[in-house]
Structure 1
Amino acid sequence: MDILALLWIISLVSIGLTEGAGVLPDGPLNAAVGGKVMFTTTLTPGTTFQIVNWKFGGIRDIFTFNVKNFPAPGYEGKITFFMSTGSLELRNLVQTDSGEYIVSIFPAGEPSKTGNTRLDVYAPVSKVTVTSSSTELVEFSSVSLSCSSSGSSLSFLWLNSSSEVTGSDRVQITDGGSTLTITNVTRYDQGPFRCRVSNPVSEGTSAPVTLSIYSPVSKVTVTSSSTELVEFNSSVSLSCSSSGSSLSVLWLNSSSEVTGSDRVQITDGGSTLTITNVTRYDQGPFSCRVSNPVSNGTSKAVTLIIYYGPENVNLKISPPHKPYLEGSNISLSCSAVSNPSAHYTWFLNGGLLSKGSQFNLTNSQENQSGSYSCQAFNDKTLRYETSHPASISVLVQSGCSAGCIAGIVIGVLVVLCVVAAIVWYCFHDKKKKKKKRSAGNTNTRTGVEGQDNGAYTRSQELHYADVRFTKKNNGETVQMGDQNKPSDYAEVRVNNNPRAAVSSLPTYDAHIQRNKRPAPQPEITEIYAQVRKN
């Protein structure tokens, strides 16, 4: 080893004497962690060496050749020495292998040769990623893009599509190139943006990031192909327009969403609403709501005018239907469901009478009786409809005036009162006379048994003074009233049988004959009486 030390001293002197003439290439040499590097000398292959020595950092031996190979501790398995040129290969690199390497070579019979170079070991680039502060932006707002990556000694390059992004008044690249900031973004700043990261031994590029840059929604307007339509006959198209980008359109009828149907079509990306065979319920108001992810707006409402009718024509008479006397005032009115309001025409028995929704019969006459009807007409839909006919009868009054009628009524009442008084007087006078006659004939026979009563007339009265009573079939005696009191008998019924209608009073002989007939067996509660005329 003393010889080796001596040779090393001699080599250092030689380096100083031969500055700039090295046997290693100019550095630095770049290598990746986990990789390998070849320190190749400039010597001609086949040179015979007595001693070769490699140092790291100028002071640490890593390998020595002196007849045999002597790798330094920690380098076993990492070094390969090439005898033909004195070159050295270093494997399984780590970042701490970065530094200066020196070689000293002692050829046989020649001056010593030396050389030095630098090795830089880098961690490779990996996991390159771009993140954005926002991907949905309103035009003229700002955004920041950040690039991150693993590796060492990294360099950053920003790309918009395939073009390099450089700084400007709106674009700033900061944080060692890892941050890209764009102010007042426009629709042309949407990208896609990528970040390319590199070092001397590797590089990597991120996935693209595309910004969604929206113009805000504004100036939302609805226009209509027509605003005056006829029910069932017309169709209409409503168009929605708006400034902005990436727009979505929603149609509203009042506050309810309009959806497609057999009569409703929504086309042109939602911006056109078409309604066929419109009805009165399609009048709206219609509005369109436009939105994008960053803003929205709603148009002013549009109301359609839809003409319909007439229908449900109704004729009313006041006072209600009844026979009317001549001179009565009668009012007729006509109405219909119609837009605009209908025009009305009146007819009597099919003949044109008048126009207007009201028709009045003032001081009506008999010749105004007949069948009345009204016809409604809509001058927009050009449709007619006629009411059901209504009959009016006007009766002729008598010739007597109202005063005359009142006098007649009063006279009739007076006559009725007089007649009633006469009847009452006659009735009481007759009753008094009967009482007097009855009193004068007490206990006096007005005839004998078997007397001929052929001369009896309807105007004569029959007086029965003696009434004999028989016993009931159970032997009891029927109690008799006071016989001294006069009694008037107009007829006698036996056995409670209903009597036949009598057209005149019976004669005494007929009465006797009727009493001679066998009497029917009475019930226990019946009373039998035999009447003899005095």
Structure 2
Amino acid sequence: MAADMSAISCLLVFGFFSSTLSIDGPRIQPFNFPKNSGIGSKVNVHCSLSRGTIPVVFTWRKNGEIFNIPEEEGRVFTHDTFSMIEINRVKASDVGNYSCLVKNSVGEDSYTAELLVRAPPFWKEQPKDTEAVHGQSASLHCGIGGYPRPKITWKKAYGTQSKDFLVVHNEYKKTILENGTLVIDSLKEADEGVYTCEAENGVGEGIQATVRLSVHAPPTVTSVKRRTSAKRGETAVIECEITGEQPLLVSWEKDGTKLTMPFTRFETYEEANGKGVKATLLISNVQRRDQGNYLCSVQNDYGSVKDVTALTVQEPPESPSDVKVISVNSRSAQVIWGAPSGISTSIKQFVIMFWKNSKVSGKLHQVSLTSTETSTLLRDLQPGNEYTVQLLAENDVGRGDPSDPVTFETKEEEPEAPPVDVEVEAADSHTLQISWKPPPTDTWNGQLKGYHVGYKVEGSASQLAYETVIKTNLREEKTLLRNLRPSTRYSVAVNAFNSAGDGPASEEIVTSTLNGDPPQSPEVKVKNVSQTSVTIMWSPRVNSDASVEQYVLEYVDTDQNKQEFHAPGSHKEYCIEGLESGQRYSIRVAAYNMFGRGDFSPSLVVITEGNARVPGYEPIVHETPFYFRLYFVIPVVASVTVILCVIVVAWACLKRAHYIEGRKAQLYVSYQQRLTYVPPSEISRDSRAVDAAYDIPWDVPNGGGSMGRDRSSYVKLKQGQNYV
């Protein structure tokens, strides 16, 4: 019996599991609504099981919501294995997604089909006028239905009459969403206006609606100085320019405390402009306690804004203290100082000024330094020069007074450049004349003490011998090297020196001393003077073994016109013709030999016969004694012995006086009248081996006779005279 019961239990359990395993979950056969259904047409759709164990439960949803339909509009019919929706007359509102859901004890399934009906555009949500705030976003809604899906277009009116429209495209700041909503970001005044939403889908007529977008401007501070300053005692001006929709309410605060007007020394006023208001706060006779942060607060119906201006009350800083110059070198100097004393606003920077003291105003140098520095190094100074330095402090107001001037002198360095325009000439057989100009002033590196003139025989291995020349204040320096060897080539170089040492030497110049000496200047006298001519006679001074080869006569008229004539060495006088009457002439003579031209004789000043006189020279007239006149001598031949004695004595005295005065220049006038003329300082020796005016020597043949050329071009010999 027990065994039978066990067998029955096993069969029941097996049967239970077998029945459970045979139940299937539902599956829906796909379905669709009829295509191209029109408004008013009748439509139905079936949702059937393709498989699944019954019983099952069917449920319908439209666009996610439980679907119920009034009896007069249609019905929902459900059987064991299917369910059906039937709509008698389709409306535009029936368009949507219909979902069939089926469920049994072991599972569920669903399927969705879209009911599309050709319908003209219709409003789901009609656009409305919209207000928005400047800088924010605005959304203009245009909810439109219809099938096919309508094409939505937004347009914006332009012009004063709002009759002309421009299409609005998807672009920067403007976006048209899929549902037809127009979104405008970062609104500006230009976005305000009339907008039209248009929709069409090719079925029936399109629809459109017009709305206005109003953009309201909250207050905005368009211009304000973040920081401003005013000198104590002056009037501080704080301005705040604001734009925004009127009315705008402006108030002021200082360091968190509201300023209630009227307020001592404070005054406010507002000036309207085309876009907003310019608010101004005036603080008269500003004091240090007025320094602080001033808040400009503005509000209107669409927002509020605040902006701060920091006011600093300043005074120019005082002078830096204890300015000193230390560690002075040849090209740099260290300057130290202390902070300005007294009460002053914060220092922005220090400014150091320095310049070179010279006869010509030195260039002013300015260097800006940070407010934390208390020392600096002046660079690129010139050695051996005196400088002046001053220091001042600067803040936001301006610069204070400079400190007391401090003078210092840089150390010297050797000169940087050699003397310039060095010239070497042979003066005679034992002497060289050297001339030069100082180096450029900015290369002295101190005060020049003088020059070292070095010289040696060319090619010699020995060192240069030096002569020291003390500096003068002349533009050109010169010296003579004496006791040299005749006819010897010498190398000469010159360098400048100061207390620091010698500068670089000039390039060596090689010049030879003469083999002999040029002749000394001849003794020149005036033999005869007429209205248009002067006869000159001279006697040479022999100081050389070389004979005189020729003479050069130079004369200068009142207008400083110079003429030269040459005469052979064998001649001792000549006549200058073609002169102007009553004019003053300066005459001198020099001799040439094979070693060059000697010095010119002292100038003789001669005035030709005539009425003209030289201004400033009133000759002392001594009339010729009557016993020198022929008409008197003839009748007194008997007294000739006495007269001759008197003449001899008078002539001797006169000769002696003229000999003394001959040491100076002599002035000769017509009618045998004489006066003494004191010439300028004696002209220095100017000997040369070859002179520019030294023509071909008279005793050298040149294809034109023994004179070598037409002598008339050099001197007019006086007729009827004997010449040696």
TM-score using structure 2 length: 0.26
Hey, which of these two has a bigger chunk of helix by percent? 1
Q: Which structure would you say has the larger Rg?
A: 1
By relative contact order (CA 8 Å, sep 6+), the higher-ranking structure is 1
